[in-house]
Amino acid sequence: MVTGMAKAMSAVVVRRRETPVQPRWPRMYAVRGFFAAGPFAQGLRFTGPIAGGAATRQARQVLAGPAAGTAGGRREVQGGHISPEPRINERIRVPEVRLVGPNGEQVGIVAIGDALRLAQEADLDLVEVAPTARPPVCKLMDYGKFKYESALKAREARKNQAQTVIKEIKLRPKIDPHDYATKRGHVERFLKQGDKVKVTIMFRGREQSRPELGFRLLQRLATDVEELGFVEAQPKQDGRNMIMVIGPTRKKSEAKAERAAARSVPRPRRGPQASASA
């Protein structure tokens, strides 16, 4: 009985192997409207396997037609990547340019061939600095040195750039005096660093019926830190919270420069005699 079952299973396997595998339809055939305006409506038939690849490319060419940039059965690529870099030397494709010398002197309107010859004689590059002008403005310069200096300037600008950050401090209307002193110290530290401070008073339960408590607390805080900051946004009720924004009187860049100068000052070191006497 076991032998008979084995023979039956082997026969099924053989029949499955002999059965030709039907190719699956490509995904593009499932696109809405393909059968109405696709190659089947034109009476075309694709050759080769329909599992994708060549059949898909052939279908796209048929659907695109001459309007998609085909000429003589050959597809033409239109457009391309627009480089942010200016055109230099032989990449400048205009008949004449307005030439500027390496020191900023005005040479005038010259032919592109003469401009390239002058650049070659001076061992410099011809760089198109104003492509939208008529004619375009080109300057004689060392393009490699120009790019290096531009990168250094951009790096220095990013280094000196100061971004203002909004810090947040949350208080309760019935805050303890010691907790209030701690919170006030945080606000003063943030303002000294040149950051804005968003002060939020949180009301709970019956405290919502007494908004004047939060208003007085915010006014008290603004009075305590008036030497370091000013009220940029007056207190306003926002649901269960009351919000006020305090801005610093000094700029972020000034505070950053002062901290850098303080770090650069060397600290006095304790000598052996001072440590021994201690």
In degrees and rounded to multiples of 5, residue 163 shows phi and psi of -105, 125
The predicted structure's pLDDT at residue 20: 54
What is the homologous superfamily of the domain 166-257 according to CATH?
A: Translation initiation factor 3 (IF-3), C-terminal domain (3.30.110.10)
Angle in degrees, CA 237, 243, 246, rounded to 5:
145
CATH 3.40.50.1010 matches 89-157: no
| Distance of alpha carbon 108 from alpha carbon 87, whole angstroms | 19
Residue 244 has pLDDT above 60, yes or no: yes
Q: Is the pLDDT of residue 3 over 70?
A: no
Burial 173-211 (b: 16+ CB within 10 A, else e): beeeeeebeebbeebbebbebbbbbbbebebeeebeeee
Tell me the per-residue pLDDT of 182-234, one tens digit each, with 9 for 90 and over: 999 999 999 988 889 999 999 998 888 999 999 999 999 999 999 989 999 99
Q: Please choose, from the candidates 252, 257, 202, the residue with its C-alpha nearest in 3D space to the C-alpha of residue 229.
A: 252
DSSP 59-74: HHHHHHGGGGSEETTE
Q: Give the global pTM.
A: 0.42
Summarize the confidence of residues 40-69 as an average pLDDT: 49
C-alpha span between 95 and 113 (Å, rounded):
8
Q: Nearest Cα to 140, choosing from 103, 190, 165? A: 103
Helix axes 211-224, 177-192, angle to 10 degrees: 50
Length of the chain: 278
- How many Å apart are CA 56 and CA 73, to the nearest integer? 16
Q: What number is the average pLDDT over the span 119-136?
A: 89
Q: Is the pLDDT of residue 65 over 70?
A: no
Whole-number Cα distances in Å, 145 to 142, 159, 254:
5, 21, 32
Show me where the domains of the chain are located. 23-58, 89-157, 166-257
Highest mean pLDDT among 62-66, 70-74, 121-125, 249-253: 121-125
Better-scored residue on pLDDT, 4 or 223: 223
